Structure 1
Amino acid sequence: MIPAFRYWKLLRLDALNDGRSLPVAESFFQGEFPAAIARHRLSASQNTAIYEGLMALFRGDRARGDRWLEAKAGLCLRCYVSYPIVRACRQLAGLFGGGGAFDYRELLPFVLDDDGEAMAIVDRDGKQQQRLDRDGQIYAARYSLFTVDILRTFDFQSTSRLSLDNWAYLQTKQNKALKGFLADRGFQYLSDWALLNKAREAQLALLPGDDRLLVGVFHAVYRRDRRLQPKSGGRCSDPSEEQLQEMSDLLRESGRAIALADRGIVRRLKQIAKQLRQYEIWSCRGAPLAEPLEAIDPETGDYGMREFADPNSTPDLQRDREQEFLARLHDRLAVVLDGAIASAIGDRIAALQKSRNYRIFADKAILGWQLLYCEGLSQREIVGRLGMTNQSQVSRVLNPKELLSRVRFRTLEGLLEAILEFREQFGLGGDRLTPEVLEKIQAGLEEFIDRQVFEEAFTEMKAGNNRSFESLYAKRLQFFLQECR
């Protein structure tokens, strides 16, 4: 059930707990939906009908040219979407800010910029924000409110659309300013094309022959053109039609029959990129899994999880599926943890390379972690070995607590992706993937990885100079560091 007050109580930076009640929004909502006020709480269908009605008013479909009506309907909706905005920030902080790296409140100023004072509308094309002054005159908005952008881009008339909650939630997680904040702290997602572009031989060796050939063709065309670009280090854009055509020609010239049209090439490359996300650790280790977790369907050429028990719904088979699910989750944890360690170390070294004060120590970080975790030296003992002048430098460069937090985040991220795949494959995906369901899945997954790995690791970290590194996290980190010698 959804509380009706979400349509007139706006979550603001200065009112996060109960929200700030907006009399204009409350009065308007009460006049339009008196029954909802009386009920206090709304069912999902009632709530959908209400926000669709408000969206029709806000977009001018039912307002009949009354701009005040549009603005008041929009104000109610701005209150409504402030809640999924805050929820998304909480989840991002839970994923990225583990171990106290940052608090969700640090994310809010980027997206919770609406104080409810302005009367906002959008132009008839739905592209620009506008404002109403006290006399009802329209003027161009000097800045864009994120809440209004969410409403402006929400296709409420589409039959295949997300709910308004899910749309606001998704837009918040994709907000450029939030991504910039996270990128400054080393948390970056590489695009599929960036992953493919930087793929190395050790990773490609794990792919089937046709996929290796396809990535080789991609490198021949895409890498060549990237090197010819005047600016290096920019975003890896989608392959152009000309590049795709050249790749297709090279595939035909190879003498290997790979029946892929241009769009088929894109689809297959994206599938390979998905595999490479799981294999990133092998760029350092070069050690393949004993058995791939995914296989190619010989009829369709699509990647999918390997076949398991017959999914007919009987209690015994359901238990078998659940047991197989848990077994696979434990198996995946080992792989994801190794990958998370490699990724977190790579993130940390990249951050050091960009640091004005510590870039000179970037190439010594691996040695520092080896001395700390493999040889058991204290940070004080490491100072001279790394050519530093004090223990504070060692702490800031190696930053073992931050490294642990990043590994935890990467592990949670990898297993969350896995569990969303597994729940469908094993017939355990009865609930629709709403933000609430995702939050429950994430909460359960956090408890799982903490119990299996990170509780012991954090306890170990707090032991001070007398600590011994015996946790699963420490053992896997030691293995990785030894492989880097």
Structure 2
Amino acid sequence: MNKLKYYTLILPSNDDKRKCKEIEIAKIFFNETFANSFDINSESDIFIQKQLLELSHNNSSGSSLIAQRCLLCFISWQIEQTCLSLEQQFGDFHGFKSRDLLGYVLDDDGSLEPSKGYKCLAREILENFDPDKSSLVTWTNRKVKQHRELNKYLLERGLYLMSDWAILNDTKIKQLPKILGSFHSLTNIEIKQAQQLLEAYHKIYRTERLCQRTDYKILGKCNPPRTEQLQAMIKILQTQAIDNLSNGLSTKVVMQKLQNLAERLREYRLHVRNASFKTISLDAELYKNSTFVDRVPDTNSNNIINPTEDVYEINEFLKTYRSQMISCLDSALHTVIAYRSEKLQKKDTEKVQQFLTALQLFHCQRLSMGNIAKQLNLRAQDAVARLLKLKEFRADVRQETLVKLQVRVIELAQKYSTPTNLLNLELTIAELLDEQIGNVIYQAEVEAASMQNNCAVSFFSQRLCQQLDTKN
């Protein structure tokens, strides 16, 4: 955890050098607020942000605005990372640098009070952030990629963003059973409801859009449905919906259902078109936020080009990829455990068994560090924390998995991709895999923080416990 991110604001720059502004009042507040933390540098951003969010919502404390400022500084760093990522993925081909993007999305002046009549992007991100639905990193990444002016600039460079509404317009109702059933494993009832929802959307929204095109009106980007359009969709759904789909429908609910459907369709298209591989269910949130599609303009058509689909090959690829993901994670766990054990062996042979036992008790039996300390006759839970060094352990596993998986996936992709597509794929594969593996590690981090709250067992812990069982 880099605490500088919470009191240093990233600003737009005319060159490739990072331009920063330290907010002194935020620095003092942050250091005082977390002065009693065991080790502020080892604390997770998630828990730091949770506390800052609570403080920012507590208007009676008198420090809510400063807590907000700390979070806004952090958001500025994530905005920069998103722009750097876009440059890495698409910059060379489309001719832009991250500095070209930052001017559109870094508009925070660093003040405590929001400016009258104008709300910067960072404040919009923070105000609409729901920690129960996603991480602040993921949410920021998503909102930056949805920024209207940034999208306009990228479109001029040939990088096309499909809006939810364009995806829904371009999807045929008869495609849904294959996409939602085979790819997303939804039930027949859920698929039927989605078909009816899409049919209502086509009758109202797409029909009006087509009429505008016939009348030679300027169309541009698909805008969100208007309230009267949503109300018209509700009337259609109320006459034909099954299994209580229409019960309690409001314009807000219909809008959310349409967005959820579009996100599923987007995920499927990205997997097919850009080899954004779907792994275990822990990765679902990741690709809800993947919004960019590199599209070659079609001068003969105004329609979005549908990807070529070979379901058998896709399923075969994903099946093989999932097994490689598991294999590489298992291998990485074995390597890191062996390395850590060897390191401890040189210091104290007794520590090796304590380390393996502590891992098993924490991840498999889900005991608190205080209880583990008692079982291992250690002084206190901080001694267990120093023995396990979970953050360092997870980071090592992440890096080992990434190195191993990247090699295997590139080899695997050669069987399912043309040379041209493979070349493009290799340019982004490291980042894609790093995000996926990072999501597995993130789930393990969340689990470790709430082990005593009957949270779901993470995939990381499942594989780790299987590894530890073979050692006993």
Query: TM-score with structure 2 length normalisation?
Result: 0.48
Query: TM-score with structure 1 length normalisation?
Result: 0.47
